A and B are shown apart, each in its own frame.
Chain A
Amino acid sequence: MPPSAEPTGLRLVSYQVGFGDCWLLTVRSAAGERHLLVDFGTTDLPGGSPREALHMQRVALDVERRVQGAPFAVVATHRHRDHVSGFATDAKLPAAAPDRRTSGEIIASLQPRLVLQPWTEDPDLPPDATGPAAGKGLSNQAFRALLGSAQEVSGLAWRESETLQAALRSAAYHAEFGRELGFLGQNNLSNLSAVQNLLAMGKAGKAVFAHYGSSSGLEAFLPGVKAEVLGPPTIRQSAAVRKQRQSDPDEFWGLQARLHAWLSGQRDMLSTANVAATVRRTAHGHRADDGPFPKAPVYDPAALPPAVRRFKRRALLARGEQLLELVRALDKVLNNTSLILLLEVGPLSLLFPGDAQIENWSHALAGPDAEEHRARLARVDLYKVGHHGSLNATPRSLWALFDKKGGKKSLRTAVSTLEGVHGNEAARTEVPRRSLVAALKSQSTYFTTQSLRGELCRELEADLTGARPRWSSWKAGPAG
């Protein structure tokens, strides 16, 4: 008789990836260990870290050391750089690197049996069989194309911001818009190498592109574990939710549909209309001939009337502000394609929502099976805090469900984040959001990767052999 696959314990490793996510979940049973890597990316490492290629290689080598040929699977919750950059195979390694393989190559060499991604990443997404989504004219396929546009536009907006920065030569611009635009612009850039590696690994093993309610393929990979996909909904699912909900603060796909028309315009304007190039030329004092009025008389840039000069500065600042709003909106669209996974390992319930925000949660929390989901979410033991602790990724309606929070702190919360990168405190959009962190600390056993001091990771264990599960504390990993 084969040894029982019933889980006897689990370990969660949280890697230091700065502003990013990288978690290795190991499930133990009498049959041995099985490993699930949930996301592997960064956009910004803490000060004092080695270069990104080297740091991510160290993480990958540690994953390799732990897996050691055991069954291995990968989840990439969504395509943002801070969740997938480590899967890239084209990173430039310094000569002194301990291994010639890049982080993405190391992960690929572990031959994941399963690569799980949201439906929006499916390269063979068929056209919506029953036509476009209700009333919005947007099919799943079109939406996938939209995500590509979103990334492209973000990159263009970032480049335009760099040009504005050069023209303004203003530290205030950098502090208020430039820094965050640079961050979001980079985070939204297409990670072609990472995306291709994920697809190739999926092809070699098994690729699953999941949506709300669909099978994740994880139950076959992790015997004895119940895995449920709570998001993202498909276009059709979310349209159905919109009709039912009693109070919907923000429409999800409805907004995306509006964004669709807007975006295609944006991309055309900023790319093929070649405005970015125009801006660069004029920033260097050249005359732009491809503006809208090539023959109209213009002021000599070196001799602007004072009132005009004053306002020109304001106009450039306003443009920066506007670009930031645009890029934030696009960032949110991609965040909302995150897989939301609820894993039940023995008696323990673990929630990995990627960077999902309220709109992505809509189907799970307000759809036809909401009651059942709510009951299961109430029992969550460990919550991987959404979107690095941002204001919008832990909806109040979700937080309210967790029964184990409160004075006894039997709820465990964990966040992978880096301060001072995303948002700003004055606008109460800083990540992690101070007030959310305070609530997490006071009502749960809280862990943040910011507590890692030079360590590569920390790990948390749960022993499931007794009558009740026993948690360890977050223990130090190998020295970094």
Chain B
Amino acid sequence: MPDPSPLHRTLTIVARDPSVERDGRVLLARVEVPRERLAPGPRGHRVQVVDVDSATGLVYKPRPEPDGPDPFAAWLDDLTLDRAKLLADPTFHQQNVYAVAMRTLALFERALGRRVPWGFPGHQLTVAPHAFVDANAFYSREHQALMFGYFKRAPAGKPPTGKPSEKGAPPEHVFLCLSHDVVAHETTHALVDGLRPWYLDPSSPDQAAFHEAFADLVALLSFFSLPEVTGALLDPIGRGERIRLEDVTREALARSVLLAVGKELAEATSGRDQVLRRSVEIEPAADLLTRAEFQEPHRRGEVLVAAVLDAFLRTWVRRLGEIADQASRTVSRERAVEDGAAAAERLLRGAIRALDYAPPVDLTFGDFLSALLTSDGVMHPADEPFRALLLERFGAYGIPPAAAGGTWEKPDAAALVLDGVHFEALQRDPQEVFRFVWENRGPKQLDLEESAETRVTWVQPCQRLSTDGFVLRETVAEYVQRLTLRADELPKEVRPPELPADLEVRLSGGGTLIFDEFGRLRFHVHNRIFSAKQKARLGYLWEEAGVGDREALRAGLSFSDLHRRRLAGTTRLTLAETPRRSHAAQR
């Protein structure tokens, strides 16, 4: 099929994973990814697939001419083709991971309105679709790579328990690189690590949970933003041209979500789909995050996923109510599918943009909610009901916003010192931003700790496009502060009483500055070095530390650490992370 767009290339992928079928066939989807001149791999300017298998020592060859139209397009259109053959072709797997990783990158770049770096000093993320035999997948900062495992479905000699394919026998292997959810999840780790490297630092239960939870919710929402998927979600509710409005409830959709989840990975990967399942099943309650079982980072993250998923389903139901034919109380199936995908995309973009409106260090779920509300308010000022719904649903799951009114407060423009600051340079020069920060360090302005080491880590102009075509120009800059003190030098309001007086602690703070297109400071989202939050952080880390482990509180924010980790570091986020905490909390 010719691919007419000069900007995009359409590629065929597995919609969720090979166990999710519709009408007895593996559900495929077609996605758009940015067009580029590909080398065999496919290898593009941001993502390159190298098909090394550490278990067999083999390296599978890619297709020799990757730049042509989608070679697998026919499989989606021609229903007579046996899709089992497609799934047994490693070059299709190579295309699948390339397409999902690039689509996830494009989602981030579109939402943020700028290029997004990886969390390592290189431009190309290497993706190994069949890296090892294991029910696991991970992002490795150190290896600058995403690695996906595969495994045999059933032990030899035992009847396979998997779902039969079109030909009756289940495929022998399970490939994680064919799971949209897994690929999007790992790519998101790589992207968040590029945007907010400090989120891997030890800080709080929320921050320990955030990386995983955010990767989960991006994976889920990007999956739900595929019309093929929202279509499948509506199947159990009705397959006619029109759907009865009374049948489309939040509960009915939630049941569909669970049906749509593949069983293939659930058991083997110990929890990928369980995340979704458990998130759907979490009963909303205001005290969730204080309960014992939600102190463990993975479980805690599920609460954030639950709140977002719930908001998505309710938004969808609300939109259907708005577009329904009021006389017949029905809604066109086609519109319902489109609206579901649009609702997911709206929420997805908002969640990604929220990263730009969040503090660079010591993130809490409440910070994330305020960032989400604020960024949405800037982008869609008229849609107050959507934000009210978000606020209400997060609240139901015990996540109040960090900002008193929900959204971040605007800074006092009159108090800011702008003498000698040049807006043109402020958009791209960290020196200029630093001058602005330094001039405004006073308590009535940015309120920084003067004695700390302060560094502007990046500044980027952005051109954000809303889903309805509105263009927003902003400049985002980030600064971080650090200060090392003995516990007895800490102000009283920051020192947890249990810390030994001579214990050396490393404190971090920092902020995000958002300037509008005229160079005015629109928002300043920050965490002060001396704050109640800092006290909570120190108390948490000390509680978590081993006996006599005086280094635990020095393991936080460090520029040299970050540099070292980026060059030769050990950061790795895995898919299953079965018996361990996320890196953020691990010592």
Q: Show the binding face of A for B, using Cβ within 8 Å.
A: 160, 164, 167, 242-251, 255, 258-259, 261-262, 265-275, 278-279, 282-283, 287-288, 291-293, 296-299, 301, 304, 307-308, 311-312, 314-319, 321-322, 325-326, 329, 332-333, 391-392, 394-396, 399, 427-428, 433, 435-440
Contact = CB atoms under 8 A, between A and B. Distances in A.
Interface string B40-70: 0000000010101111111111000000000
A261 B267 contact: yes
B292 A436 contact: no
Contacts of B271: 258
B530 to A, nearest CB: 26
Contacts of A266: 134-135
Given A271-B155, A315-B54, 9 more contacts: A247-B292, A258-B579, A261-B270, A273-B152, A279-B55, A293-B60, A297-B61, A315-B52, A435-B551
B90 A293 contact: yes
A428 B131 CA distance: 28
Contacts of B545: 396
Contact of A322 (B132, B154, B172, B551): B132
Contact of B296 (A248, A262, A391): A248
B152 A269 contact: yes
A251 B55 contact: no
A315 B147 CA distance: 8
A272 B58 CA distance: 20
Interface stretch (B137-145, B162-170, B336-344): B137-145
Contacts of B270: 258-259, 261-262
B128 interface: yes
Contact of B543 (A255, A316, A394, A396): A396
A293 B61 CA distance: 11
A244 B543 CA distance: 19
Nearest to A321: B572
A292 B175 contact: yes
Nearest to A320: B54
A436 B587 CA distance: 14
A298 B550 CA distance: 52
27 contacts: A251-B296, A255-B578, A262-B578, A268-B152, A270-B133, A272-B157, A274-B156, A282-B57, A292-B90, A292-B173, A292-B175, A293-B88, A297-B61, A301-B57, A301-B59, A311-B50, A314-B144, A315-B54, A318-B143, A322-B134, A322-B574, A391-B546, A396-B547, A433-B546, A433-B549, A436-B546, A436-B549
A272 B172 CA distance: 13
B268 interface: yes
Contacts of B126: 311, 314
Contacts of A297: 60-61
A250 B586 CA distance: 11
Nearest to B174: A265
B447 interface: no
Given A275-B133, A311-B126, A436-B547, A322 B61 contact: no
A270 B132 CA distance: 11
Nearest to A429: B587
Given A250-B581, A266-B134, A318-B147, A396 B293 contact: no
Contacts of B548: 435-440
Given A297-B60, A308-B52, A329 B143 contact: no
A241 to B, nearest CB: 9
Contacts of A428: 549, 551, 587
B467 interface: no
Nearest to B498: A400
A386 B199 CA distance: 33
A279 B175 CA distance: 19
Contacts of B132: 315, 318-319, 322
A440 B549 CA distance: 12
Contact of B57 (A255, A279, A329, A438): A279
A272 B156 contact: yes
Contact of A262 (B59, B130, B576, B581): B576
B473 interface: no
B374 interface: no
Contact of B145 (A160, A249, A250, A314): A314
B52 A311 contact: yes
Interface in B72-88: 88
Contacts of B140: 318
Contacts of A315: 52, 54, 128, 131-132, 143, 145, 147
Interface of B: 48, 50, 52-61, 88-91, 126, 128, 130-136, 138, 140, 143-145, 147, 150-152, 154-157, 172-173, 175, 267-271, 292-293, 295-296, 299, 543-551, 570, 572, 574, 576, 578-581, 587
A437 to B, nearest CB: 8
B56 A394 contact: no
A435 B546 contact: yes
Given A291-B55, A291-B58, A396-B546, A258 B292 contact: no
A268 B581 CA distance: 26
Contacts of B56: 275, 278-279, 282, 288, 291
A122 to B, nearest CB: 24
A406 B88 CA distance: 65
Contacts of A312: 50, 52, 54, 59
Which residue among A246, A265, A282, A395 has the maximum number of chain B CB atoms within 10 Å of its CB?
Answer: A265
Contact of B143 (A304, A314, A392, A437): A314
A181 to B, nearest CB: 14
A130 B232 CA distance: 40
Which residue among A160, A243, A250 has the maximum number of chain B CB atoms within 10 Å of its CB?
Answer: A250
Contacts of B570: 427
A298 B547 contact: no
The 7 tightest CB contacts between A and B, nearest first, are A439-B548, A282-B57, A268-B155, A329-B579, A262-B270, A435-B548, A291-B56
A259 B579 contact: yes
Given A315-B128, A396-B546, A435-B547, A250 B59 contact: no
A242 B147 CA distance: 34
Nearest to B126: A311
B131 A298 contact: no
A440 B57 CA distance: 47
Contact of B292 (A248, A273, A438): A248
Nearest to A284: B57
B58 to A, nearest CB: 5
A244 B90 contact: no
Nearest to A288: B56
B72 to A, nearest CB: 15
B48 to A, nearest CB: 8
A316 B56 CA distance: 11
A322 B136 contact: yes
Given A244-B292, A314-B143, A329-B580, A435 B155 contact: no
Given A246-B292, A298-B58, A435-B550, A318 B152 contact: no
B54 A164 contact: yes
Contacts of A316: 54
Nearest to A255: B579
A248 B293 contact: yes
B550 A299 contact: no
A277 to B, nearest CB: 11
Contacts of B131: 315, 318-319
B54 A298 contact: no
A318 B175 CA distance: 18
Contacts of B88: 293
Nearest to A427: B570
B252 to A, nearest CB: 25
A245 B578 CA distance: 21
B55 A317 contact: no
Which residue among A249, A259, A271, A395 has the maximum number of chain B CB atoms within 10 Å of its CB?
Answer: A249
B53 A259 contact: no
A278 B572 contact: no
A247 B295 contact: yes
Nearest to B144: A314
Contacts of A167: 57
A368 B292 CA distance: 16
